[in-house]
Amino acid sequence: MKNGRTFLLILMLVSIACACRKEEGNKLSYYVTPYPYEIVSVEEPPATNEVRNVIFLIGDGMGLEQVSCAWVLNHGKLNLDNMSVVGLSRTYSLSDLITDSAAGGTALAVGQKTSNSHVGTDAEGKPLYSMLVKAQELGKKTGVVVTCHMADATPADFCCHSDNRYKYDEVIAGYGQCGVDYIAGGGRDYFGKNRKDARNIADEMGTKGYAVAYDEVALMEAHLPILALLADDNLPVALERGDLFRHMVGKGLAELSTSCGDKGFVLMIEGSSIDDWLHENRIDRAMEELLDFDRTLGDVLQWAAADGHTLVVVTADHATGALTLQDGDLAEGRVGVAFGNDSHNGIAVPYYVWGPGRNQFGGTMENAELGALITSFVR
């Protein structure tokens, strides 16, 4: 009898411990954005219009679950809602079911899958050339705008080549050879101070004719080609940087469009830090990054609507954080979320298309297939 009571007590204690762990595991993080905004109203040009420009926006770590949270936070409306074609992109790499940003971004940039950690190279380390290189060969202008440091994987996927994304000195040196007309982001220290070889890649690019800008004022006064390094590392978080990202994109659109003549341009824009804060399980900062990305998309759509010959595509390289939306209130713009991990997952991510050429998209694609299709409009 005594043994029976002891067993029952142990069982009760185990049950309580399991319940506590379950409660802790399902603990929700709540957030309400302090800055809801109105979405833009744009008239989409005919799908049959000639495509002269391609603007490709990548929300790093931005799966459907992250978009859903942002939609609630902004009271049921996003500029992404303007996108008339929606599909799914499978993100696995050649080496892993769960991709990293290097392989995921390379697939989108060049239209070919590669192994994790590879930026702008195949699985054997041979260079792969992105849609920006094709654009340059056709006489188009090219640009990259990001919120991260320029040594990060996604901008490197479009501009540089290395079999290891963490060979930062090698990656950064690639910007000096890439020929991209407009480069804007963070990472001053990676170009000089943090290098082991004592080179200053920014100075070297300056001698090649780049206007090198280290703050927003200098950027706004510069003309192509431009290298803008506006922070030592990543840009400040969204709630601190204000409209800096939108201004960087606006400057890029102005410079590229006025200097490309009738040949057009290709611009890659990344909301890089969505992913960073999802890794930290910081729903507040991740959502403000995503909302800033969506506000920037609104600016892009207004510009593209006035132009009439610009294809706009939005997607993610992967989703991050195993995020679930479990509570909230649409009228209040409040979410309650739980994170399942602090890394990537293998769930297909959405892609969104707007503008001329959109009728060629739709359905489920491999990420490399999506990248190849976008590249086919660089012509």
Does residue 3 form part of some domain? no
Kindly report, residue by residue over 258-295, the tens digit of the pLDDT. Answer: 999 999 999 999 999 999 999 999 999 999 999 999 99
Contact by Cβ (8 Å): 42, 84: no
Tens digit of pLDDT for each residue in 182-233? 999 999 999 999 999 999 999 999 999 999 999 999 999 999 999 999 999 9
Burial bucket for residue 34 (CB in 10 Å: 0-12, 13-18, 19+): exposed
Confirm whether 43 is domain-assigned: yes
What pLDDT, on a 0 to 100 scale, did the predictor assign at position 325? 98
User: How confident is residue 68, by pLDDT bands cut at 50, 70 and 90?
Assistant: very high
Contacts 24+ apart (CB under 8 A), 202-206: 202/227, 202/229, 204/176, 205/175, 205/176
- Judged against a pLDDT cut of 50, whether residue 22 lies above it is answered with no
Strand-pair partners of 327 = 336
Q: Tokens for 121, please give them.
A: 């190279």
Calculate mean pLDDT across residues 77-102.
98
- Dump pLDDT digits (tens) for 128-167: 999 999 999 999 999 999 999 999 999 999 999 999 999 9
Total domains in the chain come to 1
280 falls within a domain? yes
Based on the residue annotation, tell me whether 162 is a catalytic residue of this protein: no
Residue 263 placed within a domain: yes
> The CATH number of the domain where 238 resides is what?
3.40.720.10
Given the residues 41, 84, 89, 101, select the one marked as catalytic.
101
* Residue 144 β-bridge partners: 183, 268
Domain, as residue range, for 82: 30-376
Note the pLDDT tens digit of each residue in 24-61.
456 899 999 999 999 999 999 999 999 999 999 999 99
Q: How far apart are the first and last CA of the chain?
A: 84
The answer to whether the CB of 89 falls within 8 A of the CB of 319 is: no
pLDDT of residue 26: 60
